[in-house]
Amino acid sequence: MVATTYPEEILRIREPVRTHLDITSTVFELEKAGRDPVVVFETVEGHSMPVVTNTTGNRRLLAACLGVEAADLPTAFRERCQRYLPCEVVDTAPWQEVTLEGDDVDLTRLPIPIHFSVDGAPYITAGQLVARDPVTGVDTTGFHRLMLKGKNRLGVSLHSRRRMWEFHRRAEERGESLPVAITLGVHPLHYMGSMVYAYPPNVRKFEIIGGLFGAPYRLARCGNTGIEVPAGAEIVIEGEILPGVHEPEGPFGEFTGYASYRSTQNVFVAHRIRMRRDAMFHSVASGMAKDHILVSCVTREGEILNTLRRNLPNVLAVHVPHTTCGAFMAFVKMKKTAQGEPQQAIMAALGTEFYTKYVIVVDEDVDIFDMNDVMWAVATRVRAEQDIVMMPGCKGAILDPTSDPQTFTLTKMGIDATRPVGKDFAERLTISDEQRARVRGILASAGVPT
């Protein structure tokens, strides 16, 4: 879709690059230049397989996947991720074309990048783990960082402590390993759907992804366990996460913008690699790259909006800026009708997503996609003694460097940056759309682009 509909949003680099630092560094340089294209590295030194990255670093392209404008992306995501569709299982898939087993399994042959100089080893960052709950049999899929430790061995951190972590815990209680498949090269809508966390326990993530597509998601079975994975994947690595085995994993340049040494230190052993004949290696640029965190921004925007709208229909929009690590801060825009509504919105937002620790609520005249506008509202509409609320002892993200290293708790904060209801307040200076259009014409006549 990108190459045909948005040719300007795909960048092919034919100059040879190294897996050591070059790939992710290129994405960051493009971001600094204000560009977020999908990047294909056609020549990677020491490898025959090309690398594609930054597939989800552009809000406009993510919106196009859902057929909407960028401003409507959170709302469209919110609505469609609740339309669970049964999956379609097919007999054949392109990733079945090449199979490597036994001594031929060699993960070092894949062009796995070192993203930052602090990284302890090359890291697979686009690997979606798929596994079944040993108790219920319901499967899940999601991202977990994977550290190259040998030809058939990866370190894995299940630090989100959500379903995959619980599946492994249940298998470990039985003294069993957890059968897992790692899929590489999936559609951006799969990426988005895998980031949904608030859904019934009997629902499959693949059914959520199907809802985003508006059609049953096509899956194919792999391995002796019959785990079902996306039929459209580029590469599938079949194996298991070992029980009771822990090895050092990390450090890794995480979404927080810091080197992370925190890890559950689990171990994955690969038994089989399957791939397309013309497979491309998919890598997600790590750290605070948009490719790493923009999807989590959108999914959290949709989930927080979904929660707030249940009791506060006057909530207009939610934005989770990627510059706040795609999780730690949320802006809520509402048409306030009564005192106390911003505080209710703050509590509901913080209760929806435990990674989020700061919520700022603003009026309908504030552009929540403009950090300057939000900070202006904070600077001019907040009285600290009555508009800032603190909630100590809340669960936070394990990777948040401010959370307690033993309990992963911290103090969360909400800021009511709205005007009081029923009282006179300073009038905001505005320039009408008509006047803006007039002066743009004047500037254009003067040869000044706008």
**Out of 4-8, 69-73, 430-434, least confident range:** 4-8
**Out of 19-23, 76-80, 345-349, 414-418, least confident range:** 76-80
Strand order in the sheet with 10-13: 10-13, 38-41, 51-53, 281-283
Q: How far apart are CA 135 and CA 119, in angstroms?
A: 36
Structure tokens at 56: 């989800």
Predicted pLDDT of residue 197: 83
Spacing of C-alpha 303 from chain mean position: 13
When pLDDT is averaged across residues 317-334 and rounded to a whole number, the result is 94
Reported as a pLDDT band with limits 50, 70 and 90, residue 219 is: very high
Please list, in sequence order, all residues whose beta carbon lies within 8 angstroms of the beta carbon of residue 192, skipping any fewer than 6 positions away.
56, 62, 65, 77, 81, 209, 212, 295, 298, 299
pLDDT above 90 for 335 = yes
pLDDT above 60 for 161 = yes
Q: Which helix (H) or strand (E) holds 165?
A: helix 163-173
Average pLDDT, the chain: 94
pLDDT above 80 for 224 = no
Predicted pLDDT of residue 201: 87
Tokens 């600077």, located at residue: 379
pLDDT above 70 for 91 = yes
Nearest to 43 by CA among 32, 33, 54, 51: 51
DSSP code at position 33: T
- Percent with pLDDT over 70 in the chain: 99
Q: Are 147 and 260 within 8 A, CB to CB?
A: no
Q: Which helix (H) or strand (E) holds 229?
A: strand 227-230
Predicted pLDDT of residue 399: 87
Quick: pLDDT tens for 436-445. Answer: 999 999 999 9
- Alpha-carbon dihedral of residues 94, 99, 105, 106, nearest 10 degrees? -40
CA dist list (Å): 160 to 100, 116, 327: 31, 22, 13
Reported as a pLDDT band with limits 50, 70 and 90, residue 1 is: low
Please list, in sequence order, all residues whose beta carbon lies within 8 angstroms of the beta carbon of residue 15, skipping any fewer than 6 positions away.
43
Q: What is the DSSP string of 238-297?
A: EEEEPSS-------EE-TTSSEE-----EEEEEEEEEE-TT--EEE---TT-HHHHHHHH
Predicted pLDDT of residue 268: 98
Tokens 């009081």, located at residue: 420
Give the domains, in start order, of the chain with CATH numbers.
Answer: 72-284 (2.30.110.10), 312-417 (3.40.1670.10)
Q: What is the DSSP string of 52-109?
A: EE-TT--HHHHHHHTTS-GGGHHHHHHHHTT-----EEES--GGGSEEEEGGG--GGG
Reported as a pLDDT band with limits 50, 70 and 90, residue 405 is: confident
pLDDT above 80 for 63 = yes
- Percent with pLDDT over 90 in the chain: 85
When pLDDT is averaged across residues 190-217 and rounded to a whole number, the result is 93
Quick: pLDDT tens for 243-263. Answer: 999 999 999 999 999 999 999
Whole-prediction pTM value?
0.89
pLDDT above 70 for 2 = no
When pLDDT is averaged across residues 121-136 and rounded to a whole number, the result is 96
pLDDT above 70 for 404 = yes
Q: Are 428 and 365 within 8 A, CB to CB?
A: yes
Predicted pLDDT of residue 199: 86
Quick: pLDDT tens for 5-33. Answer: 777 889 999 999 999 999 999 999 999 99
Q: Are 9 and 37 within 8 A, CB to CB?
A: yes
- ∠ at Cα 240 (355, 47), nearest 5°? 90
Nearest to 13 by CA among 37, 32, 33: 37
CA dist list (Å): 80 to 58, 215, 305, 317: 20, 11, 13, 17
When pLDDT is averaged across residues 110-118 and rounded to a whole number, the result is 96
| Range 144-169 burial, b when 16+ CB lie within 10 A, else e | bbbbbbeebbbbbbbbbeebbbebbe
- Alpha-carbon dihedral of residues 134, 136, 137, 141, nearest 10 degrees? -80
Nearest to 357 by CA among 406, 319, 324: 324
pLDDT above 80 for 43 = yes
Pairing of β 38-41 and β 10-13: parallel
pLDDT above 70 for 3 = no
Please list, in sequence order, all residues whose beta carbon lies within 8 angstroms of the beta carbon of residue 222, skipping any fewer than 6 positions away.
181, 228, 229, 236, 238, 274
When pLDDT is averaged across residues 131-158 and rounded to a whole number, the result is 96
